[in-house]
Amino acid sequence: MNRKLPEYTVSLRNLFRVYGTLFAGVLIILCFSILSPDFASVDNMINISRQISFLVIIALGATLVMAVGEFDLSIGAMASLGGVIAAKLAVSGQPIWLCILIPLVSSLVIGYINGWVVTKFRVLSFITTLAMGTILGGITFWLTDGATIFENIPESFRYLGQEMWFTIPILSFIMLFLTFVFWYIMSHTPFGRRLYAIGGNESASRNAGVSVAINKNMAFALCAMLATLAGILMASRLGSAQPTSGDGLFLPAYAAVFLGMTSFKEGVPNIWGTFVGAAIIGILANGLTMLEVPSFLQDVVTGCIVIAAVILQKTGRDSS
Amino acid sequence: MLEVKELDKRFGFHYALSKISLDVQAGEIHALIGENGAGKSTLIKILTGIYQVDSGKIFWNGQDIQIREPKAARKIGIQVVHQDRQLIRSFTGYENLFLGMSYPKQKWALGIHWKQMRVEAEEVKKRLGIQLNLSKLAKDMSPSEKTMLEIMRAAMMDCRLLILDEPTAALNDEESELLYALIHKLVAKGTSILYVSHRMNEILRLSHRVTVMRNGKIAGTFPTNEMNKDKLVQLMTNQDGTTKVREHKSSLTGKPEVLRLTGISSMDQKVKHISLDVKQGEIVGVFGLAGSGRTELLETIYGTRKRKSGKVEIQGERVESISPKHSLSKGIILIPEDRRGDGLVLDMSIRENMTLSTLSRFSSLFHMRKQREQTEVHAWMERLQVKATSSEQAIKELSGGNQQKVVFAKALLSKPILFLCDEPTQAVDVMTREEIHQLLREQTTQDSGVLFVSSDVQEVLEIADRIFVVHDGATVAEFQNEAVTAEQILQVCYNQRKLSDVENE
């Protein structure tokens, strides 16, 4: 009976709760547009879309793992290793498709191992992936001796990272394509439904006949693959592979997921939320740089915004 | 000393307690008994400030009081030793003892004065005549030692009324004797005891008065010396002819078996060599007291608990059920006891919960057919009369009964031939309870079998065609549900308990 009464107010509040983060993003864009005349230009928007592509791709994977209620701390190291392997293969003269395929396939295996350790031996994913990250970092260092790979990298290796289609970077296309694909997977396939069910209640999912272990392992595998792809694309963009290039993506990736959890599907990791979260972080970095804010302050601002968003979402939720 | 008047407590539409009146005198051992779900635990939780009453009054030494939080209860002198021990496993006895109190501090520093703590603890030990090594970690202590420790902890605070919730459940006779001696010592010092137990013998021996609870009401308070075991059981079960007459069923003889268990045991020995069978169209009840292994039996069949040995046959075909997924594919479905913990994904909608077991039916290739899903879910919501705003409503917003209906719809969607129901009507209103019973009966007319676990004897008698009694992980009796009474069934349980006590000596 009483559920019909406050429809208007509820929907307005819900609207804000569900799209609040999106509004905040728009607000940030407006602020920067006023403060810096160059910010709102088409060129800069294209630039931002390229800058955030790595972050979006790696964060998509983190979203999957968080959807099943786990954590993958090895994604940064995974990205670095991916870039290094791809670059090494390119230098050794392998065809470009192989340079991409080999690291992607190996990362699927590594990610699956992450999942397997977690599900089979019931080790906390925190610990497992922290250790895996250390292992991968070691391997990367062994492959590179700690030096950046930049000599003799063929032109073709730079294609995906530096070229444009119709004046839009290929990177941006890849980012949008993957976001769309994973949105589809998470919300329109049985697999996605199962991942969310596992994250929601593992025991109930098991009782409902869901293979918890296999689905979790798959989430870890896909997460590792996306991290590796981000690493490869970054190497392609830079035309070189640094042994620590992916490390800087790790924290922002989770920040993006957490920001994303505050929007669309409230409290649940979701793909478009992650996209918006990553975009906000990217836009902040871009805008603050344009305003010549020193980079340490940028980090401070980004961190504060994540905390504020999560608090806002929590209080919004409790008051309902 | 303590007097409660006309307490009411509701959970949703369900009355957990109604018009409870009770008094405990100073220095009295007052026993509280009743079947599972009679409301004993709820009453204790109210007295210790965990739950708040909906109406009614509590008087403490003649004063009208309200107990708003556990701290408040402790402050006025109501201490409790819960059934599930409230100790920190990785702390020593000393550390646990002082938990929640201010640790003795060193004079000029902020550090804990360990020596002082030990001295104080030894004093209490001497005062109560307890032998206990307090430097042991709680996790290394036996159940008896843990109970002693908790009572010590209670005694260190201002302890006017000590509530003991099944303190001897995990103790053997010798340990129980120690506990009785301790209780007498406390009572001699003027402490009152509210003693909750299933064990008739100790209640008859220990208590001055006994209060019997039944279905959230008081069935009566009596001086213990006027009571005996039979009278108590009769009061608990209320055999005054109000039991519903079960619908007569056409003979099941000659019907093929849906399920046959031959000597199955679980890895952790919670289930020991159980054999039973369920025929097509039959509802088999499994009754046992708390901790008897009834839930574990279902889990072992379904595959959530590891099976060690034994044979499970479904329609004559042997299944090595290693996972719930496999069981489901064989037509077995479990309705778990803990609906929210093991049955539902609370953050998901009704639709998403209902189709979780049967996702492949609603998808072609990789695509979810949401339209088809929607239609089917609506059909089931209508059929089971799930009350909700829409199929997209979050499941956590529904009442317990409606949640359970969704659990059943999910089960029915997988077209099972064997239902393993674990307390399916727990915390469900009376209407839904009837609906669930009706649903299960309907299923049996379509030749499904049901294994129905309940801690409520009346319910088992109401619905089952045949009843197995389990105790300590094994079946101890089998009854055709024709002339058997609740008293007979309970008697078996209590006698078993006595027997196993004897064995432990």
pLDDT number for residue A10: 52
**What chain A residue is nearest to B343 in terms of C-alpha separation?**
A204
Highest mean pLDDT among A275-284, B430-439, B454-463: A275-284
pLDDT number for residue A320: 41
**Does B195 reach chain A within 8 Å, measured CB to CB?**
no
Across the interface, which of B356, B368, B389 has its CB nearest the CB of A197?
A: B356
Residue B454 tokens, joined: 């309940």
Q: What is the pLDDT of residues A71-127, one digit of tens each?
A: 999 999 999 999 999 998 888 888 889 889 999 999 999 999 999 999 989 889 999
**What chain A residue is nearest to B395 in terms of C-alpha separation?**
A200
**Does A191 reach chain B within 8 Å, measured CB to CB?**
yes
Helices (H), A122-246: 125-144, 159-162, 170-188, 190-200, 202-207, 212-238
Helix H or strand E encompassing B361: none
Give Dmax (Cα) for chain B: 84
pLDDT number for residue B72: 86
Lowest mean pLDDT across A259-268, A283-292, B113-122, B405-414: A259-268
Test A189 with B363 for CB contact under 8 angstroms: yes
Answer yes or no: are the C-beta atoms of B287 and B332 closer than 8 Å: no
User: Cα separation of A250 and A77, whole Å?
Assistant: 8
B479: pLDDT strictly greater than 90: no
Task: From chain B, pick out residues whose CB is under 8 angstroms from the CB of A193.
Answer: 352, 356, 359, 368
**What chain A residue is nearest to B304 in terms of C-alpha separation?**
A207
Of residues B129 and A138, more confidence is placed in A138
**Does A208 reach chain B within 8 Å, measured CB to CB?**
yes
pLDDT number for residue B321: 66
User: Cα separation of B448 and B284, whole Å?
Assistant: 12
pLDDT number for residue A16: 64
B244: pLDDT strictly greater than 60: no
A186: pLDDT strictly greater than 80: yes
Q: What is the pLDDT of residues A191-222, one digit of tens each?
A: 999 999 999 898 899 888 889 999 999 999 99
pLDDT number for residue B500: 60
Across the interface, which of B343, B348, B368 has its CB nearest the CB of A197?
A: B348
Highest mean pLDDT among A63-77, A263-277, B395-409: A63-77
Task: Indicate left, alpha or beta for B361 from its phi (over 0: left) and psi (-120 to 50: alpha).
Answer: alpha
Q: Tell me the torsion sign for CA atoms B435, B440, B441, B447.
A: positive
Cα distance between the two ends of chain A = 18
State the burial class of residue B250 (Cβ atoms within 10 Å of its Cβ: 0-12, 13-18, 19+): exposed
Q: How far is A189 from chain B (nearest CA, A)?
A: 5
Test B389 with A197 for CB contact under 8 angstroms: no
**What chain A residue is nearest to B323 in terms of C-alpha separation?**
A209
Across the interface, which of A3, A191, A207 has its CB nearest the CB of B389?
A: A3
Of residues B293 and B14, more confidence is placed in B293
pLDDT number for residue A2: 39
User: Cα separation of B160 and B207, whole Å?
Assistant: 17
Mean pLDDT score of chain A: 85
Name the percent of chain A lying above pLDDT 70.
91
Task: From chain A, pick out residues whose CB is under 8 angstroms from the CB of B345.
Answer: 196-197, 200-201, 204-205
Interface test with B, best of A4, A195, A207, A211 (most B CBs within 10 A): A207
**Does B322 reach chain A within 8 Å, measured CB to CB?**
no
Complex prediction ipTM: 0.81
A3: pLDDT strictly greater than 50: no
Answer yes or no: are the C-beta atoms of B5 and B56 closer than 8 Å: yes
State the burial class of residue A47 (Cβ atoms within 10 Å of its Cβ: 0-12, 13-18, 19+): middle
Tokens 């509820």 belong to: A10
**Does A209 reach chain B within 8 Å, measured CB to CB?**
yes
Helix H or strand E encompassing A315: helix A295-319
Test A211 with B360 for CB contact under 8 angstroms: no
B225: pLDDT strictly greater than 70: yes
For residue B209, the Cα-to-chain-centroid distance in whole angstroms is 25
Q: How far is B360 from chain A (nearest CA, A)?
A: 7
User: Cα separation of B57 and B127, whole Å?
Assistant: 35
Give ∠ CA B192-B197-B200 in degrees, rounded to 5.
Answer: 110
Domains detected in chain A: 45-319 (1.10.3470)
**If you ran DSSP here, which 8-state letter would residue A167 be given?**
T
Once rounded to an integer, what is the mean pLDDT over residues A125-154? 89
Confidence grade of residue A11 (pLDDT, cut at 50, 70, 90):
low
A63: pLDDT strictly greater than 90: yes
pLDDT number for residue B89: 81
Of residues A196 and B398, more confidence is placed in A196
User: What residues have CB less than 8 Å from A48, skipping those under 6 apart?
Assistant: A279, A282, A283, A286
**If you ran DSSP here, which 8-state letter would residue B343 be given?**
I
Test A208 with B341 for CB contact under 8 angstroms: no
pLDDT number for residue A102: 92
Task: Indicate left, alpha or beta for B435 from its phi (over 0: left) and psi (-120 to 50: alpha).
Answer: alpha
Cα distance between the two ends of chain B = 38
Q: What is the pLDDT of residues A269-308, one digit of tens each?
A: 889 989 999 998 888 888 888 888 888 888 888 788 878 8
pLDDT number for residue B53: 85
**Does B394 reach chain A within 8 Å, measured CB to CB?**
no
pLDDT number for residue A7: 41
**What chain A residue is nearest to B351 in terms of C-alpha separation?**
A193
A135: pLDDT strictly greater than 50: yes
Q: What is the pLDDT of residues B58-92, one digit of tens each?
A: 898 888 888 888 888 888 888 888 766 678 888 88
pLDDT number for residue B14: 64
Highest mean pLDDT among A218-222, B236-240, B340-344: A218-222
- Going by DSSP bridges, is the β-strand pair B449-454/B283-287 parallel, antiparallel, or unpaired? parallel
Q: What is the pLDDT of residues B91-125, one digit of tens each?
A: 888 888 887 777 677 666 677 777 888 888 888 88
- In what order do the strands lie in the sheet containing B14-24? B14-24, B2-11, B55-60, B63-65
**If you ran DSSP here, which 8-state letter would residue B360 be given?**
G
Give ∠ CA B320-B322-B323 in degrees, rounded to 5.
Answer: 135
Test A190 with B363 for CB contact under 8 angstroms: yes
DSSP string, B25-58: -TT-EEEEEE-TTSSHHHHHHHHTTSS--SEEEE
User: Cα separation of B465 and B77, whole Å?
Assistant: 49
